[in-house]
Amino acid sequence: MRESTLERRLVREVERIGGLAPKWVSPGHRGVPDRLVILPGGRVAFVEMKVPGKPLQPLQEKWARTLRGMGHRVYKLDSHDDIDRFIAEVSEE
């Protein structure tokens, strides 16, 4: 399965619950998560999309630790099941 296929599904599902999931590009800062997920109620999460089974790269791990250390939620999603769990989790809040 292609990462782009999963990414399109994530965007569609986030929009279905009233949120936005723009691509996050930060020139000069390699390894930032792929998507900034902006949810109703002032909630934000960062999502790194991967092909099934592929791990985060070291710079991606570093960004995830940094963002989590600042109190942000960071997710690595690599399957339809991951997307479903993510949507269920952020919808409950």
Q: From CA 93, how far away is CA 9, in angstroms rounded?
A: 21
* 5 phi and psi angles, rounded to 5 deg: -65, -45
pLDDT of amino acid 1: 78
* Mean of the per-residue pLDDT values of the chain: 95
All domains in the chain, ordered by first residue:
3-92 (3.40.1350.10)
Residue 49 belongs to what H/E stretch? Answer: strand 43-49
Q: From CA 43, how far away is CA 73, in angstroms rounded?
A: 10
Q: What is the pTM of this model?
A: 0.93
Average pLDDT over residues 2-8: 91
Summarised one tens digit per residue, pLDDT across range 20-48 is: 999 999 999 999 999 999 999 999 999 99
CB-based contact 26:53 (threshold 8 Å) = no
Instruction: Using a pLDDT cut of 90, give the percent of the chain over it.
Output: 94
CB-based contact 77:89 (threshold 8 Å) = no
More confident residue, 92 or 52: 52
